[in-house]
Chains A and B, each alone.
Chain A
Amino acid sequence: MRVLAAMSGGVDSAVAAARAAEAGHDVTGVHLALSKNAQSYRSGARGCCTLEDSRDARRAADVIGIPFYVWDMAERFHADVVEDFVAEYESGRTPNPCLRCNERIKFEAVLDRAIALGFEAVATGHYARLRRGDDGSVEMHRAEDPGKDQSYVLGVLTQQQLAHSMFPLGDSAKDDVRAEAERRGLAVARKPDSHDICFIADGDTAGFLRGRLGESRGRIVDRSGEVVGEHEGTYAYTIGQRRGLQIGTPAPDGKPRYVLDIEPATQTVTVGPREALDVDRIVGVSPRWCGQAPTGPLRCTVQLRAHGEEFPATTYVEQARVVVVMDRPAQGVAPGQAVVVYDGSRVVGSATIDRTAAPSHA
């Protein structure tokens, strides 16, 4: 098969490309340039957009022995991921840019281009497993290594996209992948994992958003409406956040307070006790199904953030939205994040969290 390997410059995508080549595929490596102003070595930035990463990807391709190119995806990335990220925060939601990048860039812009150029699949270093279902469709399952499983950020992929995807690391543990990179002579074997948002090089998300959205001061209130503090912009807050609230007035009960609600229209951040974070119903919009959309209510588990825990639930599917009713409440569920629906280890699909509701007995 003619395979396009997306190579970030990290160890995972390098080993994924090597495995695809070793399996006998005709592999071409591509590094995606996602920033118009790539950071140089001297800036010491970490992420997927540095010149150092581009070089690391190129060196890995050399060692594997595959052709290598850099594709400039900066404009698409900026429009579909960065602008979306800023707009979501502006609306009081908490987006997941990696998920958006998979949906719009890696498995859409890149995949479409690859197919037009005559490739049959895009291979990445994501930890997830693909297998043929009984009906012949491609199923996506959680990775073998639960600590590395990335099926959550792939939950937006459709059957059409999965049919042209390849995740060679799904059956492996991260330590084994590093050891294999070492064995294959890939210099990235010991390169640290990237955790930050790649387009925010210094990791200061609030600072990045302040630069984009400007300062807009507002009040922090408790559930009774009493003002307990001030803030410099609602975008610096996420539902469930506890740190950095800068509240002057202590809570009457002396317990820590958490962000319960964000209302950009009135610049208001509402805080309250931990138990007030409980939600057991979630309304999700823009659903994406990995295969056939479920017809009736589905007993399932749901995951509400990257590397978050699983909750048993029932999912009700409507036209353009899903309603998830959980068996027990979750805390700190932020609109803008994805609810990913699983049937056992299999990913059924996902939706963007739009609204949540607290347990009615609370």
Chain B
Amino acid sequence: MNSAVTYLDHAATTPMIPEALAAMSEHLQSLGNPSSLHASGRSARRVVEEARERVAQALGARPSDVVFTAGGTEADNLAVKGLWWARRKADPRRSRVLVSAVEHHAVLDPLHWLESEEGATVEYLPVDRLGRVDVDAVRRSIEADPGTVAFVAVMWANNEVGTVQPIEQIVQVAGEHEIPVHTDAVQAIGQLPVDFAASGVDAMAVSAHKLGGPMGAGALLVRREVQLVPVLHGGGQERDVRSGTLNVAAIAGMAAAIELAVKRQPEYAADSAHLRDDLVARVREQVPDVILNGDPDPSFDHRLPCNAHLTFPGCEGDLLLMLLDAQGIECSTGSACSAGVPQASHVLLAMGCDDAYARASLRFSLGRGSSAADVDHLVEAIGPAVERARAAGVSDRKES
């Protein structure tokens, strides 16, 4: 990467912070399997347990709530499948799972799998035009037959449009019927205040590389009282819920990153929101018909401070992305399938947008190190790029 690159895709991944890199480098050189009983093993184990305490402390959890995983997707899979199997085992009538229509694929796809392989009935909780789950719909859905609900899954904040979900209210409604709630907090941690215990959720997915830690590291925070059936079987690590040799260095790097991200969150969020608002306003000066998706209220209980999700009517988002990429500006269309073929975002479709509108969108996400110069660069390039992309859109629609 040359220095001219303007990286506005921090929600995809963000650079490791020096403290995480240092912690990781140090422990990559140490010997020892944390499960071994000798001195080297104990020393590795100590690193892991200290990291566990730091992660727990930073996120308002008990150390025993923390299950280390190889990332956010694994944490979501463990929560979804683990809760399903455990709750079904306790009471086979529990066949319904209530999930927001705007979840990440790491939650939606395991549910599709449970639907086709295990007979789960998945009910999608509707969202409003801003992408916010309707709490009354959650209540109606539960109260239709509370005894048949296995669990509820609603993310803390949406990864595409940045809308913050009413987690506390959902927890309250579910709690009236002792139904567990899982939340994917991958985007929220570091941008919003997140307190696991205070939120009342039963399980929460965490990822390291979205907040300055290494890729391939994550955690599921899950209350000690909640039963989970494991997805990975083997050596019995992580209270038998997640077997596999612990990735000591990555766990140490993650702990450093989470600790600092949480500590710096108030200032970071305020600065980012300011820069984000500037980005949106100045892009609008260049492209007057641009539309900000998600919740326009910039307060932190409504929208992620680093997120600007914009629709450029008449543009194909993937062509606009390509034109900006050629100018050294990196952003995202939101979601992509494995072949790299852009699909209209399920999030925007759930918000009631049509296919063409959804495909005309780009997500710009800020991160540590994002600056006014990045916004300047984008503002300089966006007008001509939109013009080009619109011309290409006209050529696409031309009758042949």
Residues of A near any B CB (own CB < 8 A): 28, 31, 33, 38, 51, 54, 58, 67, 69-72, 74, 76, 80, 104, 108-109, 112-113, 115-118
Q: For the complex, is B198 an interface residue (Cβ under 8 Å from A)?
A: no
In the assembled complex, the Cα of A227 lies from the Cα of B278 at a distance in Å of 80
In the assembled complex, the Cα of A128 lies from the Cα of B350 at a distance in Å of 48
Q: Is A38 in contact with B339, judged by CB distance below 8 angstroms?
A: yes
In the assembled complex, the Cα of A115 lies from the Cα of B255 at a distance in Å of 50
| Whole-angstrom distance between the Cβ of A87 and the nearest chain B Cβ | 16
Residues of chain B within 8 A (CB-CB) of A115 are 395
Which residue from A69, A76, A108, A113 sits with its C-beta under 8 Å from B340? A69
A113-B392, A116-B388, A117-B388 known; A33-B341 Cβ under 8 A: yes
Q: Is A72 in contact with B388, judged by CB distance below 8 angstroms?
A: no
Interface of B is mostly: helix
Residues of chain A within 8 A (CB-CB) of B340 are 31, 33, 54, 58, 69-70
Q: Is B400 in contact with A109, judged by CB distance below 8 angstroms?
A: yes
Q: Which of B56-64, B169-177, B320-328, B360-368 contacts A (4 or more CB under 8 A)?
A: B320-328
| Whole-angstrom distance between the Cβ of A160 and the nearest chain B Cβ | 13
Interface CB pairs A-B, < 8 A, 15:
A31-B340, A33-B341, A38-B341, A51-B339, A54-B340, A58-B340, A76-B396, A104-B400, A108-B400, A109-B396, A112-B398, A115-B395, A116-B394, A117-B319, A117-B389
Nearest A residue to B396 via CB reads: A113
In the assembled complex, the Cα of A71 lies from the Cα of B395 at a distance in Å of 14
3 smallest CB-CB distances across A and B, nearest first, come from A70-B340, A116-B392, A112-B395
Q: How many residues on B have C-beta within 8 angstroms of the other chain's C-beta atoms?
A: 20
Residues of chain A within 8 A (CB-CB) of B342 are 70, 72
Which chain B residues numbered 322 to 357 have a C-beta less than 8 Å away from chain A? 322-323, 325-326, 338-342
Residues of B near any A CB (own CB < 8 A): 318-319, 322-323, 325-326, 338-342, 388-389, 391-392, 394-396, 398, 400
In the assembled complex, the Cα of A69 lies from the Cα of B287 at a distance in Å of 25
In the assembled complex, the Cα of A161 lies from the Cα of B363 at a distance in Å of 35
Beyond known contacts A38-B341, A67-B326, A72-B341: 8 more, CB 8 A cutoff: A31-B340, A69-B318, A70-B339, A76-B396, A109-B400, A112-B395, A112-B398, A117-B392
Residues of chain B within 8 A (CB-CB) of A51 are 338-339
Q: Is B322 in contact with A69, judged by CB distance below 8 angstroms?
A: yes
In the assembled complex, the Cα of A113 lies from the Cα of B326 at a distance in Å of 16
Residues of chain A within 8 A (CB-CB) of B338 are 51
| Whole-angstrom distance between the Cβ of A83 and the nearest chain B Cβ | 13
Nearest A residue to B319 via CB reads: A117
Q: Is A67 in contact with B325, judged by CB distance below 8 angstroms?
A: yes
Nearest B residue to A68 via CB reads: B340
| Whole-angstrom distance between the Cβ of A82 and the nearest chain B Cβ | 15
Residues of chain B within 8 A (CB-CB) of A108 are 400
A54-B340, A72-B342 known; A80-B400 Cβ under 8 A: yes
| Whole-angstrom distance between the Cβ of A55 and the nearest chain B Cβ | 8
In the assembled complex, the Cα of A38 lies from the Cα of B394 at a distance in Å of 27
In the assembled complex, the Cα of A28 lies from the Cα of B400 at a distance in Å of 25
| Whole-angstrom distance between the Cβ of B232 and the nearest chain A Cβ | 23
| Whole-angstrom distance between the Cβ of B385 and the nearest chain A Cβ | 10
| Whole-angstrom distance between the Cβ of B389 and the nearest chain A Cβ | 8
| Whole-angstrom distance between the Cβ of A21 and the nearest chain B Cβ | 15
Which residue from B323, B341, B398 sits with its C-beta under 8 Å from A70? B341
The winner among B338, B391, B395, B398 for most chain A CB atoms within 10 A is B395
In the assembled complex, the Cα of A33 lies from the Cα of B341 at a distance in Å of 7
Q: Is A116 in contact with B395, judged by CB distance below 8 angstroms?
A: yes
Q: Is A28 in contact with B326, judged by CB distance below 8 angstroms?
A: yes
Nearest B residue to A2 via CB reads: B326
In the assembled complex, the Cα of A104 lies from the Cα of B400 at a distance in Å of 8
Residues of chain B within 8 A (CB-CB) of A70 are 339-342
Residues of chain A within 8 A (CB-CB) of B389 are 117
Residues of chain B within 8 A (CB-CB) of A31 are 340
In the assembled complex, the Cα of A115 lies from the Cα of B392 at a distance in Å of 8
In the assembled complex, the Cα of A70 lies from the Cα of B338 at a distance in Å of 11
Q: Is A113 in contact with B341, judged by CB distance below 8 angstroms?
A: no
Nearest A residue to B384 via CB reads: A118
In the assembled complex, the Cα of A349 lies from the Cα of B324 at a distance in Å of 39
Residues of chain A within 8 A (CB-CB) of B323 are 117-118
| Whole-angstrom distance between the Cβ of B354 and the nearest chain A Cβ | 15
Residues of chain B within 8 A (CB-CB) of A72 are 318, 341-342
Residues of chain B within 8 A (CB-CB) of A28 are 322, 326
Residues of chain A within 8 A (CB-CB) of B395 are 112-113, 115-116
Residues of chain B within 8 A (CB-CB) of A109 are 396, 400
In the assembled complex, the Cα of A116 lies from the Cα of B389 at a distance in Å of 8
In the assembled complex, the Cα of A311 lies from the Cα of B326 at a distance in Å of 48
In the assembled complex, the Cα of A259 lies from the Cα of B323 at a distance in Å of 53
In the assembled complex, the Cα of A241 lies from the Cα of B394 at a distance in Å of 44
Residues of chain B within 8 A (CB-CB) of A118 are 323, 388
Nearest B residue to A114 via CB reads: B392
Residues of chain A within 8 A (CB-CB) of B398 are 112
Q: Is B339 in contact with A54, judged by CB distance below 8 angstroms?
A: yes
Nearest B residue to A57 via CB reads: B340
